[in-house]
Amino acid sequence: MLKNSSLLTEKFQTYCSYIIGFVSILIFFISCDLNEDPPFLDNTLYSDPQSAEAARDGIYAGFTHYNAMEQRMFVENGYSGLFTTRRGGNKLSSVWMNGVMKLKPNENVDNQNTWIGLYRIIARANAAIDNSTTDPESSDINQLRINDVIGHAYFSRSFAYFSLTRLWGDIPVWTKLPEADNTNMAKTSSKEVYKLIIDDAIRAKSLLNGSAGVGFPKAHAAQMLLAKVYMLLATNPELSDDGLSETDYWNLAYNESKDIYMSGEYSLVSDYSSLFDGTNENSTESIFELQISQDAGNSQMGRNYTPWRYKSGQAFGWFFVSASVYDYHVSHYPTDPRLNVTYISDYTQRCGGCSDEGNPHRTYPTNSSRGSFGNAHPYLFKHAEKDRSHTNQFNSQNLIIYRYADLLLMLAEISNELENGEQLGYVSEVLERSGLTPHAGYLSDKDSFRDAIMDEYRFELLGEGHDSYNNRRRGFSYFLENTINRHNNNPNFKSSVDVLLNDVESEVMFLDIPLLEINNNELLND
């Protein structure tokens, strides 16, 4: 997990090669000899702390794999209804423009690979859980290290299933590695998936003890996950049959979130921009952060998000933010310093001596004409490579998954639902960092505050992987009114450059299970 790490022992390198192949075989049906006896199934790997910790590093290496990180971010951001892309060409007729970005997903490689990447994490976690023994009561230093490793495995499995079921609904659930003669799995209801997610996160919370050190999530990350699950269940009671009420779930979410808050371990960094330029990694604001190593060549986030010809070297600049999103942000906070960190629309081109070197490039809102697709939307700038002299296509900027600002907004939302009087203080803390104060929507009634805080998630966290879920967890009607119709009815909407968002509930709320899985898993259609 640590940057530029060389922790992988020869034994674990062997383990890694097998587990990747084994998962591909058993879950995604890539050919190999199923009679092999992979060494990672040997539970002695997990009885030795050093070897177990190498296995833990392998689980987190799954998070930073292209499928589970970049392509997951493509899908999570794209399916939010807030973005558009030039991938496939600067035209509305491209495959991508007719798919996930329009909320009318078609079969595409990013959806498929996101699915594969998340199940790869699950398989590695299952191997660790299946082949280890924990002792939460032990004070032995070696046992504590192993407990922590297994805590990471439970946390990772919980996180992966939470991502999968929010995107696909009912899904196959594997809690053990498949056998050679058992490579099919029927879908499990979302209700059962959420039960597993909660159970795993609770186990993770009890086992994670901080032994891993800086750069690894602690028990608070599991609590953050739990709080998000409880918040979702509070507004989707059909996903649970445990007899708890909406208020019960809000209280559970409050207890987990408040415990993190009261720990005193986290605080907002003073400079919002430092969260996204590589200068403030693993800061006091970070609760769960993926450690990215340029030397390992494991991240192409920079080239995917860096604006076209912003710097010399390869930069794809695939992700734009819809103009309606920018307009809405400015309408609430016209002087918000987060605007210049989140979006970029005006820069001087660099391309290593090409004919338009040094020319200005302007997209929305700097270019008011919106005359062509290529200049009709601001770029999402958070994940872009900020060093304009950087020519490597790979970059080393960490990716923050959970951070303290998100926790404060969660507490504000939860407190508003519980009407405990704390909500304004939490949101004020987030706004004060940017020199802002709560607008009128926060100062009215409960419903107005709810709408304001749901918007605030977008202003603060846009593009960080939460938008798709936050937009949907209050149901289709809320998503339709506050995202889809807001975009489609934006006065600045231009049919030649803006995608028209789909409003068919059955297509908008969940992705279709990838065709590769359907074709190879005989039980999916039973």
Q: Which two tokens stand for residue 520?
A: 């190879």
Domain that holds residue 161: 1-213+491-526
Region of poorest pLDDT, from 156-165, 383-392, 476-485: 383-392
Mean pLDDT value across residues 75-103: 87
Examine the domain organization and report whether 306 and 203 are in the same domain.
Answer: no
pLDDT, averaged across the chain: 88
The residue count of the chain comes to: 526
Point out the domain boundary residue: 347, 365, 397.
397
Would you say 486 and 500 are in contact if contact means Cβ atoms under 8 Å apart?
A: no
Phi first, then psi: give them for residue 473, nearest 5 degrees.
-70, -15
Q: Is the residue at 459 inside a domain? A: no
**Strand 187-188 relative to strand 346-348: parallel, antiparallel, unpaired?**
unpaired
User: What was the pLDDT predicted at 10?
Assistant: 36
Q: Is the residue at 92 inside a domain? A: yes
Point out the domain boundary residue: 397, 428, 459.
397
349 pLDDT higher than 50: yes
Q: Is the residue at 254 inside a domain? A: no
Say if residue 41 is exposed, middle or buried (CB neighbours under 10 Å; 0-12, 13-18, 19+): middle
User: What was the pLDDT predicted at 33?
Assistant: 32
Examine the domain organization and report whether 74 and 188 are in the same domain.
Answer: yes
Examine the domain organization and report whether 69 and 192 are in the same domain.
Answer: yes
Predicted TM-score (pTM) of the model is: 0.92
Whole-number Å distance between alpha carbons of 10 and 4: 17
Whole-number Å distance between alpha carbons of 482 and 505: 14
Whole-number Å distance between alpha carbons of 360 and 366: 11
User: What was the pLDDT predicted at 475?
Assistant: 97
- DSSP category for residue 512: P
User: What was the pLDDT predicted at 161?
Assistant: 98
Would you say 344 and 384 are in contact if contact means Cβ atoms under 8 Å apart?
A: yes
Examine the domain organization and report whether 209 and 309 are in the same domain.
Answer: no
Examine the domain organization and report whether 309 and 208 are in the same domain.
Answer: no
The pLDDT-based confidence of 47 (bands split at 50, 70, 90) is confident
Q: Which residues pair with 360 in a beta bridge?
A: 348
Q: Is the residue at 191 inside a domain? A: yes
Q: Which two tokens stand for residue 459?
A: 């202003």
Q: Is the residue at 200 inside a domain? A: yes
Examine the domain organization and report whether 319 and 183 are in the same domain.
Answer: no
The pLDDT-based confidence of 8 (bands split at 50, 70, 90) is very low
13 pLDDT higher than 70: no
The pLDDT-based confidence of 6 (bands split at 50, 70, 90) is very low
User: What was the pLDDT predicted at 347?
Assistant: 95
> Which among 150, 163, 201, 147 has a CA at the least distance from the CA of 63?
163
User: What was the pLDDT predicted at 355?
Assistant: 86
The pLDDT-based confidence of 297 (bands split at 50, 70, 90) is low
Examine the domain organization and report whether 3 and 144 are in the same domain.
Answer: yes
Q: Is the residue at 465 inside a domain? A: no
Mean pLDDT value across residues 321-330: 97
Does 365 sit behind a cis peptide bond, omega within 30 degrees of 0 on the bond before it?
yes
Say if residue 310 is exposed, middle or buried (CB neighbours under 10 Å; 0-12, 13-18, 19+): buried
101 pLDDT higher than 70: yes
Examine the domain organization and report whether 42 and 163 are in the same domain.
Answer: yes
User: What was the pLDDT predicted at 292?
Assistant: 86
Q: Is the residue at 38 inside a domain? A: yes
Does residue 54 or residue 33 have the better pLDDT? 54
458 pLDDT higher than 80: yes
The pLDDT-based confidence of 343 (bands split at 50, 70, 90) is very high
The pLDDT-based confidence of 302 (bands split at 50, 70, 90) is confident
The pLDDT-based confidence of 31 (bands split at 50, 70, 90) is very low
The pLDDT-based confidence of 300 (bands split at 50, 70, 90) is confident
**Tell me, what CATH number does 142's domain have?**
1.25.40.390
Tell me the per-residue pLDDT of 491-512, one tens digit each, with 9 for 90 and over: 999 999 999 999 999 999 999 9
**Strand 83-85 relative to strand 171-172: parallel, antiparallel, unpaired?**
unpaired
Q: Is the residue at 332 inside a domain? A: yes
184 pLDDT higher than 60: yes
User: What was the pLDDT predicted at 21?
Assistant: 32
The pLDDT-based confidence of 56 (bands split at 50, 70, 90) is very high
User: What was the pLDDT predicted at 295?
Assistant: 55
34 pLDDT higher than 60: no
Point out the domain boundary residue: 345, 366, 397.
397
Mean pLDDT value across residues 221-238: 97
Mention every residue, 6+ apart, whose C-beta is less than 8 A from residue 444.
none
Give how many domains the chain has, as a whole number: 2
